[in-house]
Structure 1
Amino acid sequence: MSDYQQLHHVSDDIGPIFVLEDNEFRILSFGDNDEQSKILKAQPHVPQHTYIQAMLAVLLFSKPKSAIILGLGGGGLVHALRRYDAAIKLTAVELRKDVIEISKRYFQLPIGKKLNIVHQDGGDFLANAEHKRVDVIFADMYIEQGVDEKQLTTEFIENCHKGLKADGFLVLNCWKEHSKSELLKQTLSQHFANVYATLTGGGNWVIYASKQPQSFSAATNKQHLQQLSQQLDYSVSRSLTRFTQWE
């Protein structure tokens, strides 16, 4: 990322945090050649990473009134969800205090009464269960080395299930290699009625787990896809070219 200039740098107990930018984009990075978050400064609501675009495809199957985001980063999911529906009650949980401050200062985080930001480990937040059940949980807990392994554990999956309403969805952002994990697949299948996934162009394996055995047929409904694409301001169908039931 040599074309970007460093705008901000801080370190905590976990490691360094950088904010980089050029004329168009701003990036949150935790190390060399690492992009945790990326926004288009003129249109921060349009997700720049394919995994965030894929995670938001859950909006084809759910019209949430509330959601939990585990892993705030630069606030890409918050921006897009606010664009989709400003009335959704969002709780964003972030382990690193400096990331919270940076998202506010450098990434145009849309602060308001409908957004509750919690400085806490996402797994601990779920385990404590001091929140109302929500419609969707977005799990996007990452460190410089990759996925936080905590979000792949049986305990984490169980706590996500408990934290969702009866018709709720868990959206889990993983890597391509996790598509080979029989243990993860079995754990999800034991707790959720229906599990689908998609492989993104960026090498992420995004999982959609539903508490109800409902159909995911809206993934092929052109009218619904077009409507959601207009709401989010990007083509949702591109995220679903490899959308399939995980079985």
Structure 2
Amino acid sequence: MAILWEKTWQGSKYQVRAAGRTRRLYTDGVFHSQYHPQRTLSGGIWDLLWLPAFFRQPPAFRRVLMLGVGGGTVFHQLQRYADVTGMVGVELNPIHVQVAQDYFEIARCGAQLHQAEAGQWLRDYRGPKFDLIIEDLFSEQAGEPVRAIKADQKWFDLLNRNLSRDGILVMNFVSRKSLRDSAWYHQPKLRKALPQGYQFTLPAFENYIACFLRQPSSSQLLRDQLNGIPELAQEISRGNFNFTVRRLLAGR
């Protein structure tokens, strides 16, 4: 795999590697994000971040907010399969912003990127609410990923205030325990505001992608819509997209 670009910043080494038309972002040798202009599925956990869009029929969104952009792969995936009018991304790491712009063709999506700390940006934000918020914020401790912002009542309230009346909130959790420790499980008021929850997992990953909905939906609706897209239906039937989706129930 050829190295297209590399840079050391604040003690970390970043590389963009190429395999054919595939572009991969590595941080200190750890595979972080992947993009291919003709292939939607990457085989990584970020394939699950855009799936909850299909809880809405049709998957149409006026405004999408991504907190923690990485290379911007999710923007490409949403643009391909959902009807999205506007996309905004907030990313703290300037190297990730550079890679998204220079190697992951983020300009093709028309996404507006902000290099900022996500919590502060959202506290300062005064614009229209978002129909879909995807939160993928992680830092590192002792070489292991940890949530950059604790998923407590305060953080959920801030996200919820910026979500439209029928909006969808998607959050990445590093483990089942991390999800179960989140405020949604322990605050009845929060479950009243976001009454439906679902979890998505992939066999090879420990992460749990959680989706919280204001309006009723179902996993069957989501699967029916995915199977209505020929290329995704084919990948599912071949076992290349072997995700699991389950309803979240407080107390379990």
Indicate the residue corresponding to 1:70 in structure 2. 67
Of 39, 46, 51, which residue of structure 2 is paired with 1:52?
46
The answer to whether 1:25 aligns with 2:22 is yes
Secondary structure in structure 1 of the residue aligned to 2:126 = coil
- Structure 2 Cα separation of the partners of residues 70 and 14 of structure 1: 24
TM-score, scaled to structure 1: 0.82
Deviation for aligned residue 1:191:
4.4
- Structure 1 Cα separation of the partners of residues 220 and 10 of structure 2: 44
8 A contact 1:54–1:239 mirrored in 2: no
8 A contact 1:169–1:210 mirrored in 2: yes
**1:52-101 alpha-carbon deviations (Å, 9 max, x no partner):** 22222212112222110111111111111121246420001111122111
- Structure 2 Cα separation of the partners of residues 7 and 225 of structure 1: 34
Indicate the residue corresponding to 1:204 in structure 2. 207
More divergent stretch after superposition (130-139 vs 151-160): 151-160
8 A contact 1:93–1:117 mirrored in 2: yes
Taking the TM superposition and a 5 Å limit, the aligned residue runs for 1:169-184 are 169-178=168-177, 181-184=180-183
Distance change (3 Å), C-alpha of 1:88 and 1:7: same
- Structure 1 Cα separation of the partners of residues 83 and 182 of structure 2: 37
8 A contact 1:79–1:110 mirrored in 2: no
Distance change (3 Å), C-alpha of 1:220 and 1:165: closer
8 A contact 1:60–1:219 mirrored in 2: yes
- Structure 2 Cα separation of the partners of residues 232 and 67 of structure 1: 25
8 A contact 2:139–2:148 mirrored in 1: no
What do you get for the CA RMSD once the two structures are aligned?
Answer: 2.9
Indicate the residue corresponding to 1:189 in structure 2. 191
8 A contact 2:61–2:83 mirrored in 1: no
Taking the TM superposition and a 5 Å limit, the aligned residue runs for 1:1-247 are 4-13=1-10, 15-32=12-29, 34-40=30-36, 42-43=37-38, 46-62=40-56, 63-85=60-82, 87-111=84-108, 114-143=110-139, 145-150=144-149, 152-178=151-177, 181-184=180-183, 185-187=185-187, 189=191, 191-201=193-203, 202-212=205-215, 214-219=216-221, 222=224, 224-228=225-229, 230=231, 234-235=235-236, 241-247=243-249
Aligned residues: 238
- Structure 2 Cα separation of the partners of residues 75 and 100 of structure 1: 8
Deviation for aligned residue 1:231:
7.3
Residue identity in the other structure for 2:124: N
Distance change (3 Å), C-alpha of 1:190 and 1:123: farther
Structure richer in strand, relative to its length: 2
Distance change (3 Å), C-alpha of 1:148 and 1:180: closer
Deviation for aligned residue 1:242:
2.6
Distance change (3 Å), C-alpha of 1:73 and 1:152: same
- Structure 2 Cα separation of the partners of residues 71 and 218 of structure 1: 29
- What percent of counterpart residues are identical? 18
- Structure 1 Cα separation of the partners of residues 247 and 121 of structure 2: 29
Distance change (3 Å), C-alpha of 1:128 and 1:168: same
8 A contact 1:173–1:204 mirrored in 2: yes
TM-score, scaled to structure 2: 0.81
Deviation for aligned residue 1:103:
1.2
